[in-house]
Amino acid sequence: MRTPSMDKPPYKQHISSQFNAELEEVRQRVLAMGGLVEQQIVDATRALMEADGVLGEEVSRNDYKVNRQEVLIDEECSGILARRQPTAGDLRLVYAIIKTITDLERIGDEAEKIARMAVDLASQERLGGALVEVGHLSRRVSQMVHDALDAFARMDTDAALAVAREDVNVDREYEALIRQCITFMMEDPRTIRRVMDIIWSVRSLERIGDHARNIAEYVIYFVKGKDVRHIGLEAMEREVHAAR
């Protein structure tokens, strides 16, 4: 799996080399946590597609690793706030990191939900039709998470904006899949239990896309100093392109 860019830090350099080191260490930890979360999405979806209960159980067990990373990074950020008392851009950076790891942890939770659905489906008759489309949505969402992390690594507002635009496409694909699943259940009520597992999995994928968009919004907040949550895409584009 490709890893987000880890080139020159996107934040300003400080006179204190120790402060620089602290910021860089926490940044690297966020990207490592992101890589772990990306793998959880891939493994959970593969378990669902292949009705692999063993892999699904493994993904569920590994969720604690994501949770542990969130706690460790949060503690590091609390230490930075206490020792350095950052202001302005530095404070926005620490805030963006804290919010980002919260969304990464929630992405991990959604992957764990998909894994649990995979375990349940493994004990039932296969239902192949809808799963092909689920695989496509999963790849799209996984790429969103990767791109959001890459935008975070480079603090690139244009890349962040592209993630927000992609979330619109993910929502459309999600809605189409839900309609397809409802059709399956109407045509054959015997599939209801299996299709409901798929519906919950698709819902988790859509939520992962929302969390990826959130991460992109924190990037824009750090760079532009503007809170772009809960505003439309057009308004977000205006904020990104203002005063360039």
Give Cα 86 to chain centroid, integer Å: 27
- For position 235, what pLDDT does the model report? 75
Domains of the chain: 17-241 (1.20.58.220)
- For position 8, what pLDDT does the model report? 52
Cβ 215 vs Cβ 103: under 8 Å: yes
- For position 130, what pLDDT does the model report? 63
**Residues 228, 134, 63, 147: is their CA dihedral positive or negative?**
negative
Q: What angle do CA 106, 230, 149 make, to 5 degrees?
A: 45
- For position 112, what pLDDT does the model report? 97
- For position 127, what pLDDT does the model report? 65
In 3D space, the residue among 64, 68, 67, 46 whose CA is nearest the CA of residue 55 turns out to be 46
Cβ 149 vs Cβ 34: under 8 Å: yes
Q: Which residues contact 51 (CB under 8 A, 6 or more apart)?
A: 118, 121, 122, 126
CA 30 – CA 65 distance, rounded (Å):
13
- For position 18, what pLDDT does the model report? 80
- For position 125, what pLDDT does the model report? 73
Which residues, given as ranges, of the chain have pLDDT below 70?
A: 1-16, 127-130, 243-244
Half-sphere exposure of 134 (CA within 13 A, CB side): 30
